[in-house]
Structure 1
Amino acid sequence: MTGPEGLDPQQLGAYFAFTEAASLLQHQVEQHLRADGGLSYVQFQLLARLADAGGPLTMTQLADGVVYSRSGLTYQAGLLEKAGLVTRAPSPDDERATLVAITEDGLALFGRVLSGHVEVVRSMLLDPLSEEDLQHLGGIMTRVRDHMRALPPRSAAPRKRRAARSL
């Protein structure tokens, strides 16, 4: 199928290969994170962002960084807080904002699962590629990501209003 109503065979093949590879990789990563750290993929992403930030981030910054809904992020941050892996506190600069920071226990857990995470990524994604392949893939995915990131972040999107209930 070609034209504006569909993708040509090359585009469709590239899309399906990408989505299948991404799904296979994410499945293996999730299996590792559950087994080695009792973490979901989103929880690992949150800990990674906080560990890399070197200080607290707002919930909005986290939501934009991990591309996750605000309500889902609040739930996941609550689970991490209950486990003692992060803290949440009101921002002293903006009463509407909540700051999230990683704890020492959170850093320790992140460090413990990171090496296994890297090994899964290396074996599943990187090992079959040459240096030239990696250079091309990095350039392609950076261009695609930057194109997608040029759109407004999800946290900036207006919330859908619920339909008024009739009595």
Structure 2
Amino acid sequence: MAEELEPEQLNTYFALMESVSLLHHAVEQQVRAAGELSYVQFQLLARLADAPKRQLTMTALADGVVYSRSGLTHQAGLLEKAGLITRAPSPEDQRATLVTITQDGLDRVAKILPGHIELVRELLFTPLSTTDLTALGDIMTKVRDHMRAQPPRSAAPHNQHA
């Protein structure tokens, strides 16, 4: 039988999960109100807006936003139908699909971003000192890198609703 978590580990886990849930809920509401997108759709557009040539392969996009390939295909279809992205075969690898953000997609990100930044700053960063922020960044980078060392989520089937 697996060993139980220590009380401090359990308290930290619950505090982290509650904080993430509260932040995610607030961000989801802000993104929906400002840009009529789900948070996942906003993540996809924001990653594309920040990418070289404003395009990524579907696999790189799925791995970057920690989303299944099938879920991403659905979300990309919705974004393409809305005119916010285009999809085309990669000229370098015909098996890969390149996703490119359109000007309308860039405009939508620009519309959402100011309120998004303000909300994240208020909820996540306001209660932290500079020392806290540095420590949290270092800790979360270490945790993320440890988790990223596992096989990518897009490599496994995954039931995601957005």
Whether these two folds match at TM > 0.5 is yes
Distance 1:139 1:68 in 2: 24
Query: C-alpha offsets along residues 112-131 of structure 1, whole Å, 9 cap, x if unaligned?
Result: 10110001101111001111
CA contact (8 A) 2:49 2:106 kept: yes
Residue 61 of structure 1 aligns with an amino acid whose one-letter code is: A
Distance 2:19 2:154 in 1: 28
- Could you say which structure has the greater relative contact order, defined with CA pairs below 8 angstroms and 6 or more residues apart? 2
CA contact (8 A) 2:84 2:105 kept: yes
Q: Does 2:73 align with 1:64?
A: no
Q: Give the match for residue 30 of structure 2.
A: 32
Say what the alpha-carbon RMSD is for the aligned residues.
1.4
Write the mapping of 1:18-167 to structure 2, written as runs, cut at 5 A.
18-55=16-53, 56-157=55-156
% identical aligned pairs? 69
Residue 97 (structure 1) shift: 1.0
Residue 4 (structure 1) shift: 4.1
Distance 1:69 1:42 in 2: 11
Question: Which runs of no fewer than 5 residues in structure 1 stay unpaired?
Answer: 161-167
Bigger Rg, structure 1 or 2:
1
Query: C-alpha offsets along residues 61-101 of structure 1, whole Å, 9 cap, x if unaligned?
Result: 00000000111100001110011100001112222111100
Corresponding residue pairs, total: 157
Query: C-alpha offsets along residues 101-148 of structure 1, whole Å, 9 cap, x if unaligned?
Result: 000010011011011000110111100111111011000000000111
Residue 147 of structure 1 aligns with an amino acid whose one-letter code is: H
CA contact (8 A) 2:68 2:155 kept: no
Residue 30 of structure 1 aligns with an amino acid whose one-letter code is: E
SS at match of 2:33: helix
Distance 2:87 2:72 in 1: 12
Residue 28 of structure 2 aligns with an amino acid whose one-letter code is: E
